[in-house]
């Protein structure tokens, strides 16, 4: 069965911090969300996941799309955090001639993200001439998770549980789009019991050089209801 290849681009990185505000840097948040999504997707069968970066390094926009295109990814996600005084979440696809799959996938991904994150403003599904959604050869989406320069949004972005919700929403979207199935966990083999085996187990309680001592212990055990025999 063909594996589904998901390419996750953690926006910015290295010398490019992205948007900054309220003690946060976009490049750190995008990496945390991307890694969380990768971890979630590794629970599914027939899925391969690659990140554009797994640490704090500088990459050009072209390097990111070149990696995804050369790998032959089936879907491209570029994770970003917004800025500019607004609030909430929005998703982008290319504003050019995109496939029906790209539009349908945005509908699914956007819906699942908003359900997962809970009570935040839905800024809607949008289009834009961003390099990563334009130059990727596969359906692509760029979600903008909250506004780093908004104090209330920043409080959410400082909470690892909220970042996991952002990743969880994308996971749920991908499960729906690609009909992903969780890996089957092996069922532990039950230990055999005496009831389903012909084996018998014996317990020896003593060994004596003096037969009288052996007989004395045997009589004591018999008085307590045990079946006893003395072997020489």
pLDDT in tens, the chain (232 residues): 789 999 999 999 999 999 999 999 999 999 999 999 999 999 999 999 999 999 999 999 999 999 999 999 999 999 999 999 899 999 999 999 999 999 999 999 999 999 999 999 999 999 999 999 999 999 999 999 999 999 999 999 999 999 999 999 999 999 999 999 999 877 776 665 455 556 656 666 677 677 777 777 777 777 777 777 777 6
Report the distance separating Cα 150 and Cα 123, nearest Å. 15
Residue with tokens 């972005």: 157
Within-domain flag for 200: no
Tokens of 128: 């834009």
The model carries a pTM of: 0.80
112 is catalytic: no
Within-domain flag for 213: no
Q: Check which CATH number belongs to the domain holding 51 and give it.
A: 3.40.630.40
Within-domain flag for 85: yes
34: domain range?
4-178
Within-domain flag for 219: no
Report the distance separating Cα 142 and Cα 75, nearest Å. 11
The alpha carbon of 118 is separated from its chain's Cα centroid by a whole number of angstroms, namely 19
Annotated active-site residue in 26, 90, 144, 171: 144
Find out whether 68 and 51 touch, Cβ atoms under 8 Å: no
For CA atoms 121, 126, 84, 56, give the dihedral sign.
positive
Within-domain flag for 142: yes
Within-domain flag for 21: yes
User: Count of H helices and E strands in the chain?
Assistant: 7, 8
Within-domain flag for 24: yes
- Per the structure, the count of domains in the chain is 1
Within-domain flag for 211: no
Give the pLDDT of residue 202: 66
């Amino acid at each position: 069965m063909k594996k589904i290849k998901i390419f996750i681009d953690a926006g910015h990185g290295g010398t490019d911090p992205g948007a900054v505000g309220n003690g946060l840097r976009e490049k750190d948040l995008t990496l945390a969300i991307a890694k969380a999504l990768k971890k979630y997707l590794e629970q599914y069968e027939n899925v391969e996941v690659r990140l554009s970066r797994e640490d704090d390094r500088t990459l050009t926009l072209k390097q990111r799309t070149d990696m995804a295109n050369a790998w032959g990814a089936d879907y491209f996600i570029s994770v970003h955090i917004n800025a500019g005084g607004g609030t909430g979440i929005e998703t982008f696809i290319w504003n050019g001639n995109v496939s029906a799959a790209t539009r349908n996938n945005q509908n699914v991904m956007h819906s699942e993200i908003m359900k997962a994150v809970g009570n935040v403003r839905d800024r809607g599904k949008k289009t834009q001439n961003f390099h990563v959604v334009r130059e990727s050869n596969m359906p692509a989406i760029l979600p903008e998770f909250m506004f780093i320069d908004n104090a209330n949004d920043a409080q959410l972005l400082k909470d690892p549980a909220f970042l996991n919700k952002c990743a969880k929403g994308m996971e749920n979207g991908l499960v729906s789009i690609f009909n992903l199935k969780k890996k089957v966990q092996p069922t532990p083999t039950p230990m055999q019991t005496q009831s389903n085996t012909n084996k018998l187990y014996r317990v020896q309680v003593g060994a004596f050089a003096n037969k009288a001592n052996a007989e004395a212990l045997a009589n004591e055990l018999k008085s307590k209801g045990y079946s006893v025999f003395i072997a020489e």
